[in-house]
A and B are shown apart, each in its own frame.
Chain A
Amino acid sequence: MDLAERVSTLRRASGLSARELAALVGVAPTTVTRVEAGTVSPSFALAQEILTVLGEPIGFLGGADREAMIAARRALDPALPVAETPGAAQWRERWGRLGLVDAGGHAVEGREADLLERAGQVARLTRRPGAADFDSGPTATLIASLLRSAGIDHALTGDAGANLYRSSGEEAWPVLYVEDVAAAATAAGLVSKASGSYGPRITLIPFDELSEMGRIDIGGISVAARDQVILDAYGGIDRMPEQADILVGRRVA
């Protein structure tokens, strides 16, 4: 697949119009249509910017864009005590051009769900830095219970986390933020999944300062902040974005 075809396919798969992609990138819409038609060969910097906002930067090795998560959560909660980064500022500018955040970096009223969805698309839950995958078996709730007994700090996210906020689906993929992946795996008796293999799994993601913030207890289970869970569900697989839609009121449960 050449660059023109790749950009066109990824843009439409992301649900973006050429005009919206142009706004995110900060170029004229005709530039995008010409790149997609193959009549313009973009500079490396422009190609990189286009593919970055589409969630697949050049040299993409599987990392989710953490800066986008910081920008989205700060836009929704300006009081969030997490440091601004140059990357997060860049996302704020991009989303500002798309009308998702205002000049002050706050989420535009009525566009919060769009913002979380966009952030989830470039910060996919499937590609978080430091995440470790394990063979399927126990549910997220059972793992949480084992970690609590072992005194290991954790928070549910993904479909199980979304279900704690609003029951809307089934747990297909247990995902937990944990303070220490190796210790958590041992405490929960998890077996490492073969590297690079496909199929069902359990995933543990190391806490960072963002995912730690705003956790709450629901029915004795520690769950990530509502905005984080929604963002993660939008960046998840299968019906998880639908669960996010229900949490933000876009869809009838």
Chain B
Amino acid sequence: MTDFEEPRTEIEWSRRAIINVVEVLAAHAASLTLVGAHAVLLRTMALDVPRMPTGDGDLGVTPGLVSATPRIETLLVDAGYRHRTSARPGLWGRTVFADQDGSLSFREKVDLLAPHGLSGTVSRSKRGAPALQPDHGKHTVGNVLGLELASFNRSLVTLSDFADPRLTTALHVADIPALVLAKGSKIGERIDHPRKGRVRDKDLGDLWRLMAVGDPADTARVVEEYADHPQIGVHVRQGLAWTAAVVRDPVSRQRAKSNFDTFVDPREIDNAFARWQAALAGIGA
């Protein structure tokens, strides 16, 4: 590890963290899927907008694909990772440093997140993944709503380190349909239930990024394919309903424009929302 160039920026550290954790959890590689900002970044590289400045590394964990051994918690702790907070399960960090304001931060930050619908709980207030707890620890993996499709709609990608491209790993990365539904679900649930958390303009910005490069017809086809799936069908249908509502919501469209104020032509944002509104409305029709 020390042979490689050290990352210098947050995004370099977060990419390094993902690669390192994938290596540490190699025994469970089939269960891991890159989701969140790094997945969006990978799938939207062609866009001429500022690169997503993320320090987060989100890894989806599909419980049904995780073996009983080795214990994930043990693997991470043995590799030097520890919980970044006791308030939420699944948030891991390694290599502590002191920021200018004296607060302690982690250079490497990775969130392990099971899809809520596959996590073993139906409660929206439980933040862990009971399906994994007996074998892998109570606080090891959190759960997030909307990641269900990402467990199936994904493809293997060779991920290169940003700081040193000699360092690579092969990892499943969520495809655009899964990422659109994940983001749409997060925003849609929060619009319907504000106590679940704030909607940020950046979430609408991410959704626009995906819609701008994605093919709505392809997403419609994938959603239809999984809409009656025995494990995730109900979650896919809910995710579609939320995403469709977000895409036709004028406030969400305005927030996407605000997110890229003066950086993206608002007409481009209008066009993407209009295209996707039509495509999502037609699913199941």
Contact = CB atoms under 8 A, between A and B. Distances in A.
A145 interface: no
Contact of B101 (A166, A169, A240): A166
Given A200-B50, A200-B263, A168 B55 contact: yes
A241 interface: yes
Interface stretch (A9-17, A19-27, A39-47, A84-92): A9-17
Contact of B53 (A170, A198, A253): A170
Interface string B95-111: 00101110101100100
Interface stretch (B21-29, B71-79, B144-152, B252-260): B252-260
A59 interface: no
A200 B48 contact: yes
A159 interface: yes
Contacts of B9: 170-171
B265 interface: yes
Contacts of A169: 10-11, 53-55
A166 B99 contact: yes
A98 interface: no
Nearest to A240: B53
B84 interface: yes
B51 A172 contact: yes
Nearest to A164: B100
Interface residues of A, number: 36
A247 B102 CA distance: 12
B50 A172 contact: yes
Interface string A132-176: 000000000000000000000000000100011111111111000
Nearest to B97: A167
Contacts of A15: 198
A252 interface: yes
Contact of B48 (A199, A240, A247): A199
A5 B201 contact: no
A51 B202 CA distance: 23
Contacts of A247: 101
Contacts of A163: 10
B85 A166 contact: no
Interface string B147-167: 000000000000000000000
B200 A167 contact: no
B10 A238 contact: no
A168 B10 contact: yes
A9 B100 CA distance: 39
A13 B255 CA distance: 6
A232 interface: no
B250 A9 contact: yes
Nearest to B264: A198
A61 interface: no
B16 to A, nearest CB: 13
A172 B105 contact: no
A218 interface: yes
Residue of A198, A200, A219, A238 with most chain B CB atoms under a 10 A cut-off: A238
B251 interface: yes
Contacts of A165: 99-101
A170 B251 contact: no
A245 to B, nearest CB: 9
Contact of B265 (A198, A200, A201, A253): A198
A126 B262 contact: yes
Interface string B49-72: 111111100000000000000000
A124 B51 contact: no
A199 B265 CA distance: 9
23 contacts: A9-B254, A13-B251, A13-B258, A165-B100, A166-B99, A167-B10, A169-B53, A169-B55, A170-B10, A170-B51, A170-B53, A170-B54, A172-B50, A172-B53, A173-B50, A237-B259, A238-B201, A239-B53, A241-B202, A247-B101, A252-B84, A252-B88, A253-B105
Interface of A: 5, 9-10, 12-13, 15, 124, 126-127, 159, 163-173, 198-201, 218-219, 237-242, 247, 252-253
Given A172-B51, A239-B202, 10 more contacts: A13-B254, A126-B263, A159-B53, A168-B105, A170-B51, A173-B50, A198-B263, A238-B52, A238-B205, A252-B84
